[in-house]
Amino acid sequence: MDIEELRTFVEVADAGGVSPAARRLGVSKSIVSRRLARLEADLGVQLLARTTRGAALTEAGTTFRDYAARVCAEIDNAKEVILPAGELRGRLRIAAPLTFGPTHLAPVIADMGRRHPRLEIYTCYADRFVDLISEGYDCAIRVGFLPDSNLLARRVGPIRGSVVASPSYIRAHGAPETPGAILAHEALTQVNESWNFMDGDKRITIRPQGRFRADNGTALVSAAVAGVGIACLPDGVIEAHVRAGELVRIMTHYPLPEAGIFVIRPPGQHPSRKIRVLTEMLIECFGSMSHEGA
């Protein structure tokens, strides 16, 4: 067996089928199938049971998958160690938020690509929750507050937000002055969104109500500018509209708690050098942001 067979098996196991694994690897389905067949022939056991929905791990496959993943990780680490100083190569798959990501994170990722011309980078920008392990990502950059999970996180910078409304909305409906008053207003939200405010050392959580929802903050900015309702958004995506007078910060006596920008990776012994370099570049960019510079 060779490393490509092991890597292919891990991708199929994690993706749940030959077709999605082939897309991740950038090869044809026939190549994936041949590699799997050679690996199973070498081992003398069936690792995957083909189904109409894809491929499911056999008992032997479940056991072997973790060993194969560790071998692939060790080989990758060994390759990085012997590379010329500073050089990166191979693949790096990143999940990043659609809100904030293309405007603030993409320039850092692009700079990483410029500095390391032998590194292949793929970034998925989406505000949905991306399952790093099952979808085959090396890491994610997430903004906000992190739920408990078995993933490993490194904070690379602060993120601050504000509640905003357009001047036309404020003229027509007024502006809430306390967190509880928000419930009487049209709120622009993502699904099941909570808004948190600080009253001194006390945190207040509100479940806002409204008829306009979207799956990313950029769409909510447009709705807020149009006067549809009030929105709670990162300063980085509203700052230009505030400067232009299209949005006004409200509820300033109840600031939002400071959130963070995080690099998230699956659990493992050590992060790869690719992830460490990305993390260091993000810290360099965002780690010392001032209060106004979200």
More confident residue, 174 or 67: 174
The rounded distance, in Å, linking the Cα atoms of 290 and 294 is 7
Strands 187-189 vs 230-234: parallel, antiparallel or unpaired: parallel
225 pLDDT more than 90:
yes
pLDDT of the residue at 184: 95
What confidence tier does 84 reach under pLDDT thresholds 50, 70, 90? low
Q: Name the β-bridge partners of 231.
A: 164, 188
pLDDT of the residue at 97: 92
- pTM exceeds 0.75, yes or no: no
The rounded distance, in Å, linking the Cα atoms of 267 and 285 is 25
pLDDT digit string, tens, across residues 87-136: 788 889 999 999 889 999 999 999 999 999 989 999 999 888 888 877 77
290 pLDDT more than 50:
no
Share of the chain above pLDDT 70, in %: 93
Handedness of CA 24, 96, 81, 112 (dihedral sign): positive
pLDDT of the residue at 85: 64
pLDDT digit string, tens, across residues 67-83: 888 888 788 777 766 76
With CA atoms as reference, report the closest residue to 154 among 281, 27, 4, 31. 281
pLDDT of the residue at 270: 66
pLDDT digit string, tens, across residues 175-201: 999 999 999 999 999 888 899 999 999
23 pLDDT more than 90:
no
